[in-house]
């Protein structure tokens, strides 16, 4: 069965600090898809990135970067030079490619960036 | 391009009452999902539609929850009768194809409080 663990329940940083949000997943599939979403206080889940299991390249998008490591089943998310607007709950999610698979979310990490 | 629309944004009812939520997906998106997000947890899939047909409703509590998507566009999720434990945010998401690799785009959600 697929599972996503986000061990950090809440992280507090001061503006301009770098912060890494951890995501560890479990799956028996060789093909799967990983996602990160941001949920600001307004409640809407905002898509950030999708990564396919066969593509292990790390990705950078502005202040955001993602480190995908199949060897440790991790898909960590780093925000460089954090800003107050980054304050939100961040969810990591997994969907296997086979069987009766649905998108499974972790419990989320609440990030609070203070000025 | 307009995003996923949901209404109402907030609803407060008493237990044993009925409630209905409405979702309009992104134009052209054939696949529609309803999720339940309990406070402090990640979203959990309730039901998936492909056009106007149900693909997966294995996690839907069918004794009280029902959903329909009659014309393959808008969808309605109903709870009848509501219980205290149904207090949650109900999120609607859509994709333009049904594949597991497809990114789901979410609406702002409906926050339900059952007293």
Question: A1 vs A59, which has greater pLDDT?
Answer: A59
User: Residue A55: its chain B contacts at CB < 8 A?
Assistant: none
Q: What are phi and psi of A10, to 5 degrees?
A: -150, 140
Q: What is the dihedral of CA B31, A30, A26, A79, to 10 degrees?
A: -70
CA distance B105 to chain A (A): 7
Query: What pLDDT score was predicted for residue B100?
Result: 72
Site from A27, A55, A103, A105 to mutate, B interface, most B CB atoms within 10 angstroms:
A103
Which chain B residue's Cα is nearest to A10?
B40
Query: What pLDDT score was predicted for residue B103?
Result: 87
Mean pLDDT of B60-78: 94
A→B contacts (Cβ < 8 Å), by residue, are: 4, 33, 35, 37, 42-47, 50, 52, 91, 93, 95-97, 100-108
Q: Which of A45, A104, A109, A103 is nearest to A77 (CA)?
A: A109
Residues in chain B, how many? 115
A52 contacts: CB under 8 Å, gap ≥ 6: A31, A32, A33, B101
Site from A31, A43, A91 to mutate, B interface, most B CB atoms within 10 angstroms:
A43
Question: A59 vs A66, which has greater pLDDT?
Answer: A66
Cβ-based neighbour number of residue A52 at 10 Å: 13
Is the pLDDT at B61 greater than 90, yes or no?
A: yes
Is the pLDDT at A88 greater than 90, yes or no?
A: yes
CA distance B17 to chain A (A): 25
Mean pLDDT of B48-77: 92
Candidates B103, B106, B109; nearest CB to A50: B103
Q: What percent of chain A has pLDDT over 90?
A: 78
| B29-52 pLDDT tens trace | 999 999 999 999 999 999 999 888
- The DSSP code sequence of chain A is --EEE---SEEEEETT--EEE--EEE-S-SSEEEEEEEE-TT---EEEEEEETT----EEETTEEEEEEGGGTEEEEEESS--GGG-EEEEEEEEESSSS---EE---EEEEEE-
Mean pLDDT of A51-58: 86
CA distance B101 to chain A (A): 6
Query: What pLDDT score was predicted for residue A100?
Result: 64
Query: What pLDDT score was predicted for residue A57?
Result: 80
CA distance A69 to chain B (A): 19
Which chain B residue's Cα is nearest to A91?
B42
A79 contacts: CB under 8 Å, gap ≥ 6: A18, A19, A20, A21, A63, A64, A86, A111
Which chain B residue's Cα is nearest to A31?
B101
Peptide bond just before A48 cis, omega within 30 deg: no
Mean pLDDT of A33-51: 93
Query: What pLDDT score was predicted for residue B67?
Result: 97
Query: What pLDDT score was predicted for residue B71?
Result: 86
Among the ranges given (A40-44, A66-70, B9-13), the one the predictor scored with the smallest mean pLDDT = A40-44
Q: How confident is the model at residue A99 (pLDDT cuts 50, 70, 90)?
A: low
Is the pLDDT at A95 greater than 80, yes or no?
A: yes
In a 10 Å sphere around its CB, with 0-12 CB exposed, 13-18 middle and 19+ buried, how is residue A36 labelled? buried
Query: What pLDDT score was predicted for residue A24?
Result: 98
């Amino acid at each position: 069965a697929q599972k996503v663990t986000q061990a950090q329940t809440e992280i507090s940083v001061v503006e301009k600090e770098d912060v890494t949000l951890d995501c560890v997943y479990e799956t028996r599939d060789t093909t799967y898809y990983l996602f990160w979403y941001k949920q600001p206080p307004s409640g809407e889940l905002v898509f950030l990135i999708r990564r396919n299991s066969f593509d292990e390249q790390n990705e950078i998008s502005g202040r955001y970067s993602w480190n995908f490591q199949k060897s440790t089943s991790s898909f960590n998310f780093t925000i460089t030079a954090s800003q107050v607007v980054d304050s939100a709950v961040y969810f990591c999610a997994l969907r296997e490619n086979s069987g009766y698979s649905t998108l499974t979310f972790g419990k989320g990490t609440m990030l609070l960036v203070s000025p | 391009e307009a995003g996923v629309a949901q209404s109402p944004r907030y609803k407060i009812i008493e237990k044993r009452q009925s409630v209905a939520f409405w979702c309009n997906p992104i134009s052209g998106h054939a696949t529609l999902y309803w999720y339940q997000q309990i406070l402090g947890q990640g979203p959990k899939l309730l039901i998936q539609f492909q056009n106007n047909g149900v693909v997966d409703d294995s996690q839907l509590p069918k004794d009280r929850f029902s959903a329909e998507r009659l014309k393959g566009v808008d969808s309605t999720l109903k709870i009848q009768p509501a219980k205290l434990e149904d207090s949650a945010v109900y999120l609607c998401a859509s994709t333009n194809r049904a594949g597991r690799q497809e990114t789901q785009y979410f609406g702002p959600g409906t926050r339900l409080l059952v007293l």
